Protein backbone atom coordinates (compact mmCIF):
# COMPACT_ATOMS: atom_id res chain seq x y z
CA UNK A 1 0.00 0.00 0.00
CA UNK A 2 1.22 3.47 -0.86
CA UNK A 3 1.37 6.21 1.77
CA UNK A 4 0.51 9.88 1.67
CA UNK A 5 1.47 12.24 4.48
CA UNK A 6 -0.41 15.53 4.36
CA UNK A 7 0.55 18.51 6.48
CA UNK A 8 -2.81 20.21 6.96
CA UNK A 9 -3.16 23.70 8.32
CA UNK A 10 -4.13 27.28 7.73
CA UNK A 11 -2.06 30.03 6.17
CA UNK A 12 1.29 30.86 7.76
CA UNK A 13 1.55 27.70 9.87
CA UNK A 14 4.86 26.68 8.28
CA UNK A 15 3.69 23.67 6.27
CA UNK A 16 6.17 24.35 3.46
CA UNK A 17 9.03 24.95 5.89
CA UNK A 18 8.39 21.68 7.71
CA UNK A 19 8.15 19.67 4.47
CA UNK A 20 11.40 21.23 3.25
CA UNK A 21 13.19 20.48 6.51
CA UNK A 22 12.10 16.84 6.31
CA UNK A 23 13.14 16.74 2.63
CA UNK A 24 16.60 18.01 3.59
CA UNK A 25 16.75 15.32 6.29
CA UNK A 26 15.92 12.66 3.68
CA UNK A 27 18.52 14.03 1.25
CA UNK A 28 21.20 14.16 3.94
CA UNK A 29 20.38 10.95 5.81
CA UNK A 30 19.98 8.77 2.74
CA UNK A 31 22.57 10.61 0.60
CA UNK A 32 20.30 11.19 -2.38
CA UNK A 33 20.44 13.97 -4.99
CA UNK A 34 18.32 17.07 -4.47
CA UNK A 35 15.88 16.51 -7.33
CA UNK A 36 13.11 18.68 -5.86
CA UNK A 37 14.64 22.15 -6.12
CA UNK A 38 15.19 22.42 -2.37
CA UNK A 39 16.87 25.69 -1.41
CA UNK A 40 18.34 25.16 2.06
CA UNK A 41 18.79 28.92 2.43
CA UNK A 42 15.02 29.47 2.08
CA UNK A 43 12.77 26.76 3.53
CA UNK A 44 9.72 28.90 2.72
CA UNK A 45 10.26 28.38 -1.03
CA UNK A 46 8.01 25.66 -2.47
CA UNK A 47 9.57 22.44 -3.67
CA UNK A 48 8.27 19.77 -6.01
CA UNK A 49 9.61 16.53 -7.39
CA UNK A 50 10.68 13.04 -6.51
CA UNK A 51 13.43 11.86 -4.18
CA UNK A 52 14.66 8.35 -4.95
CA UNK A 53 16.20 6.07 -2.35
CA UNK A 54 17.15 2.85 -4.09
CA UNK A 55 13.87 1.69 -5.61
CA UNK A 56 11.74 3.80 -3.25
CA UNK A 57 10.25 6.97 -4.73
CA UNK A 58 9.08 9.80 -2.46
CA UNK A 59 7.02 12.53 -4.07
CA UNK A 60 7.32 15.97 -2.51
CA UNK A 61 4.95 18.90 -3.03
CA UNK A 62 5.23 21.63 -0.42
CA UNK A 63 2.69 23.91 -2.16
CA UNK A 64 -0.80 23.40 -0.82
CA UNK A 65 -2.60 26.70 -0.39
CA UNK A 66 -5.19 26.07 -3.11
CA UNK A 67 -6.61 23.32 -5.33
CA UNK A 68 -4.25 24.04 -8.24
CA UNK A 69 -1.17 23.69 -6.03
CA UNK A 70 -2.48 20.53 -4.34
CA UNK A 71 -3.25 18.93 -7.70
CA UNK A 72 0.45 19.12 -8.59
CA UNK A 73 0.78 15.79 -6.79
CA UNK A 74 -1.11 14.26 -9.73
CA UNK A 75 1.78 15.39 -11.95
CA UNK A 76 4.14 13.11 -10.04
CA UNK A 77 2.51 10.24 -11.93
CA UNK A 78 2.52 11.92 -15.34
CA UNK A 79 6.29 12.13 -15.63
CA UNK A 80 7.31 9.55 -18.23
CA UNK A 81 10.38 8.22 -16.40
CA UNK A 82 8.55 7.61 -13.16
CA UNK A 83 7.09 4.12 -12.81
CA UNK A 84 5.45 4.74 -9.48
CA UNK A 85 5.56 6.88 -6.39
CA UNK A 86 5.51 4.96 -3.11
CA UNK A 87 5.16 7.84 -0.67
CA UNK A 88 3.86 11.38 -1.06
CA UNK A 89 4.60 14.21 1.34
CA UNK A 90 2.43 17.24 0.66
CA UNK A 91 0.47 20.12 2.16
CA UNK A 92 -3.10 21.35 2.08
CA UNK A 93 -5.40 23.73 3.90
CA UNK A 94 -7.81 22.57 6.59
CA UNK A 95 -10.77 22.64 4.20
CA UNK A 96 -11.61 23.41 0.61
CA UNK A 97 -11.18 21.87 -2.83
CA UNK A 98 -7.51 20.97 -2.36
CA UNK A 99 -8.23 18.89 0.74
CA UNK A 100 -11.23 17.30 -0.97
CA UNK A 101 -9.03 16.37 -3.94
CA UNK A 102 -6.69 14.47 -1.64
CA UNK A 103 -9.57 12.80 0.19
CA UNK A 104 -11.19 11.71 -3.08
CA UNK A 105 -8.10 10.64 -5.03
CA UNK A 106 -5.55 9.43 -2.49
CA UNK A 107 -7.69 7.28 -0.23
CA UNK A 108 -7.73 3.71 1.05
CA UNK A 109 -10.05 2.53 -1.73
CA UNK A 110 -7.48 3.69 -4.29
CA UNK A 111 -4.58 2.02 -2.50
CA UNK A 112 -3.36 4.92 -0.36
CA UNK A 113 -2.90 5.04 3.38
CA UNK A 114 -3.63 8.66 4.35
CA UNK A 115 -2.07 10.35 7.33
CA UNK A 116 -3.12 13.93 7.96
CA UNK A 117 -0.76 15.79 10.27
CA UNK A 118 -2.59 18.80 11.66
CA UNK A 119 -0.51 21.97 12.01
CA UNK A 120 -2.02 24.15 14.71
CA UNK A 121 -1.94 27.90 14.28
CA UNK A 122 -0.54 30.08 17.04
CA UNK A 123 -0.28 33.88 17.14
CA UNK A 124 2.86 35.20 15.43
CA UNK A 125 4.18 36.45 18.76
CA UNK A 126 3.83 33.02 20.40
CA UNK A 127 7.27 31.82 19.38
CA UNK A 128 7.51 29.24 22.18
CA UNK A 129 4.41 27.31 21.09
CA UNK A 130 5.31 27.64 17.40
CA UNK A 131 8.79 26.24 18.02
CA UNK A 132 7.49 23.36 20.16
CA UNK A 133 4.84 22.56 17.52
CA UNK A 134 7.36 22.64 14.70
CA UNK A 135 9.76 20.27 16.45
CA UNK A 136 6.90 17.91 17.30
CA UNK A 137 5.48 17.83 13.76
CA UNK A 138 8.87 17.42 12.06
CA UNK A 139 9.72 14.57 14.43
CA UNK A 140 6.33 12.97 13.82
CA UNK A 141 6.85 12.95 10.06
CA UNK A 142 10.42 11.69 10.43
CA UNK A 143 9.16 8.87 12.66
CA UNK A 144 6.78 7.74 9.92
CA UNK A 145 9.73 7.70 7.50
CA UNK A 146 12.43 6.11 9.68
CA UNK A 147 13.43 2.75 8.31
CA UNK A 148 13.36 3.73 4.66
CA UNK A 149 15.71 1.47 2.76
CA UNK A 150 19.18 2.94 2.36
pLDDT at 127: 95
pLDDT of residue 77: 81
pTM exceeds 0.85: yes
Task: Compare 149 and 83 and report the one with higher pLDDT.
Answer: 149
Q: What is the mean pLDDT of residues 117-130?
A: 95
| Residue 88 clears pLDDT 50, i.e. is over it | yes
- Element spanning 112, H or E: strand 112-119
Of 132, 129, 138, which is closest to residue 89 (Cα–Cα)?
Answer: 138
pLDDT at 80 over 70: no
CB 85 within 8 A of CB 52: no
The CB density around residue 54, as the number of other CB atoms within 10 Å, is: 10
Query: Confidence band (pLDDT; 50, 70, 90) for 120?
Result: very high
- pLDDT above 70: residue 87: yes
- Three-state DSSP at 147 gives coil
Amino acid sequence: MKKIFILKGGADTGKTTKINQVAEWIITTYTVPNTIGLDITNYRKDTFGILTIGKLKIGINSAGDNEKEVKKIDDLFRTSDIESVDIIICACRTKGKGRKHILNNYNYGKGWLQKFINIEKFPKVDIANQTARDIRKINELKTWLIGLPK
